[in-house]
Amino acid sequence: MTIVIENPLTESAHVESKVQAVPKELQLDEGFVVPDANAFGHTFRDYDVESERQKTVEEFYRVNHIYQTYDYVKKLREDYEKLNKREMSIWEGIELLNEFIDDSDPDLDMPQIEHLLQTAEAIRKDYPNEDWLHLTGLIHDLGKVLLHPDFGGLPQWSVVGDTFPVGCAYDESNVHFKYFKGNPDYSNPKYNTKLGVYSEGCGLNNVYMSFGHDDYMYLVAKENKCALPSAALFIIRYHSFYPLHKHGAYKYLMNEEDRENLKWLHIFNKYDLYSKSNIKIDVEEVKPYYLSLIKKYFPEKLKW
């Protein structure tokens, strides 16, 4: 029997602004050249290559897959959607990320501010007129402030890494799928069927995702009433949902709005993934431009 989730994650009154169609000029074959290798000389998102970095990444996913249960996700989301941890500006959040390196990332071991700027600047070069997309590139990982003590100092397995739906069967396209067998939901008949607690076409808005920086930053942006379009919020919320946007898994949970916004996510993903390198961006040089975008789309101070 299919069960529809009783409490949608966000009420219809908060549904994001109308989905934008992808302009013809926004295609995947623009000027950005995909590099042959990551900062370590390996293929991007290669989770099997033998290296010290790979060992760290695999251990991360082992723990992540065991402990990200449906009940755990609901509990954390209920806590963090209160947005009562701190008040600060977007740029203050960016500066906080200087302290952290993402243990789930096999492609980069530099502070997060470097990745944000690399992503934003690569998008800016190809699409100079889409300033909302530049800003989305800059802020998409800001939810990683969850690692900071002021935000609870959550462990990395609860903040970073690929995301996946909880409350239904895990798809085998998930990285290091084998470790899900240690998750109690894996053998729970309530959660281990294709649809689990959801219904087909219910919309990703009604699906609980593994808790982390994506969903948190989405909440921060939406509840602080930013002026970014619906597509930007979708990118922020699902940019780590690789089983969907890389492998096409879980599409049976999507609705029409999701399908339209997924087009934007496919555009964004190339820059998020392949702009990672050891080449640093001059922060002071680009800072005035991004401060102007922040002022355009966000209030001066946000609740986090």
Q: How far apart are CA 239 and CA 217, in angstroms?
A: 11
Contact 202, 193 (CB under 8 A): no
CB 215 within 8 A of CB 137: no
CA dihedral over 302, 265, 203, 158, signed as positive or negative: negative
- Predicted confidence (pLDDT) per residue in 140-150, tens digit: 999 999 999 99
Q: Which pLDDT tens digit goes with each residue over 207-228? A: 999 999 999 999 999 999 999 9
Which residues belong to the annotated binding site?
45, 102-104, 115, 140-141, 144, 161-162, 213, 239-240, 272
**Residue 21 predicted with pLDDT over 60:** no
120-138 tens-digit pLDDT: 999 999 999 999 999 999 9
Annotated binding site for Fe cation: 115, 140-141, 213, 239, 272
What DSSP string runs through 97-126?
A: GGG---TT-SS--S-HHHHHHHHHHHHHHH
Residue 104: is its pLDDT beyond 70? Answer: no
Residue that has been written with the tokens 């997924």 in this structure: 262
Residue ranges of the binding site for substrate? 45, 102-104, 144, 161-162, 239-240
User: Whole-model pTM?
Assistant: 0.81
